[in-house]
Amino acid sequence: MSVSYRQFYVESRGEYVDEEQVHHCAGQRNGLCGAANPGHLYLTTGLHTGEVGLTVEVHEAAPPLDEQWEEVVEVSFRPKSPETTVVPWGEAPIYSLDLPLADHRVRYCGRGMDVSPDDELSVLDGGPPVDHYLLQFWPAALSPDRIVKQTTQHAAYWHDRARTLPPPPSPEERAEAERRQHEEQQAVVRAAERSVAGGLDRALMDAVTAAGTDTQRAVARWAACRAVVKAELQMFVDFAWAIRALQVGEALPEPFDDRESAWEWFFARKDLPHAFVNSPHDPDEALWQQSLVIPALLATAEEDPLRAALTALQAAAAAYGSDFRDLLAEVRASFPDLHRSS
């Protein structure tokens, strides 16, 4: 397996992952297998960059220890999703583990971890691996991590470093943090969806109401695309695919095909911009501009074409903030029938 920066992972938290809340070895005795972040394991290797030997095993009970291994540590692990994978740094998963959503014990073994500079060069030049690892899983109740065997200087360094780290939050503290995060997210959803409750200018609403269903559908799709661009999200691949679907009249792709999934995905994305605009209805209220794109996109799937058009327009207008009149002028310019009607 390829490693970079002396690390690889076991991941079971899904496609979009929050950044680690705590150091991966926080509160542990061992520094080779970090399990402080639920559903995630951080494995340390001796080699900085290149190929290492790796064997992964799933057992029904604790396997016997093999004396060939120079380093042996154990931690507890519980998957957070049905899919658990072995993941190299910066690459796609290379191996899937069939682990039930239950508590497991993990044994991480290594040998040859005191890798020399000459060893590094040899591996980078295509030579055989110099350090090898064994990762074993079996069902077991939760228990503290432990160092079963320690031999190399490399392992000693990481074990010593782990013991200097502050402890991770308690289960109660994690639950409270998750509760606060959920409340904050729901406040964003409420603010975004409240922004589509107000009316547009009366003349434009009447013009959209008088338009045919094809025009109403087209207005809804147009408004959603304008919201994406105004919020500067068109550079992100998922939003780009959503714009493409709307432009050719196709159904929205995942995750925008379901309200709950769309919001869950949105909050999991930590790479999206955070710009704020003033609400068109309340200049003293600041709205997260990018969050307003979600109701605009979802509106295009409304069964009633008039509701789709008005809701998408209102959400897009909110995304424009104090410049919302620019959007109203744009829609009239893009749909001449609306301009004549109003």
Cα–Cα distance for residue pair 225/316, rounded to 1 Å: 9
20 pLDDT higher than 70: no
Judged by phi (left if over 0) then psi (alpha if -120 to 50, else beta), residue 318 lies in alpha
Strands (E), 226-338: 276-278, 286-288
What per-residue confidence (pLDDT) applies to 68? 94
pLDDT of residue 15: 55
pLDDT, tens digit, 9 for 90 and up, residues 31-61: 999 999 989 999 999 999 999 999 999 999 9
Amino acid present at 204: L
**Confidence tier at 18 by pLDDT (50, 70, 90):** very low
Indicate whether 22 pLDDT > 80: no
Evaluate if residue 213 carries a pLDDT over 80: yes
User: What torsion do the CA atoms of 124, 127, 132, 136 make, to the nearest 10 degrees?
Assistant: 90
pLDDT in tens, 130-179: 999 999 999 999 999 999 999 999 999 999 999 998 887 777 877 887 78
Query: Mean pLDDT over residues 95-120, rounded?
Result: 93
- The position carrying tokens 């497991």 is 104
pLDDT digits (tens, 9 = 90+) for 235-289: 999 999 999 999 999 999 999 999 999 999 999 888 899 999 988 777 778 899 9
**Yes or no: is domain 2-168 CATH 1.10.490.20?**
no
β strands within 100-197, DSSP E:
104-111, 132-139, 146-149
> CA 73, CA 242: separation in Å to the nearest integer?
46
Strand partners, 135: 56, 108
CA distances from 330 to 72, 103, 165, 195, 320 (A): 66, 56, 56, 19, 12
Above pLDDT 70, what percent of the chain?
95
- Is 92's pLDDT higher than 80? no
96 forms beta bridges with: 85
Residue-averaged pLDDT of the chain: 89
> Among all chains, which residue has been given the structure tokens 């899904």?
14
The stretch 288-305 carries a mean pLDDT of 94
Q: What's the confidence (pLDDT) of residue 16?
A: 45
Q: Where are the domains of the chain?
A: 2-168, 176-341
pLDDT at 342: 47
Report, as an integer, the average pLDDT of 13-28. Answer: 71
Residue 14 reports pLDDT greater than 80: no
Residue 21: the pLDDT is 63
- pLDDT greater than 70 at residue 197: no
For residue 298, name the pLDDT band (cuts at 50, 70, 90): very high
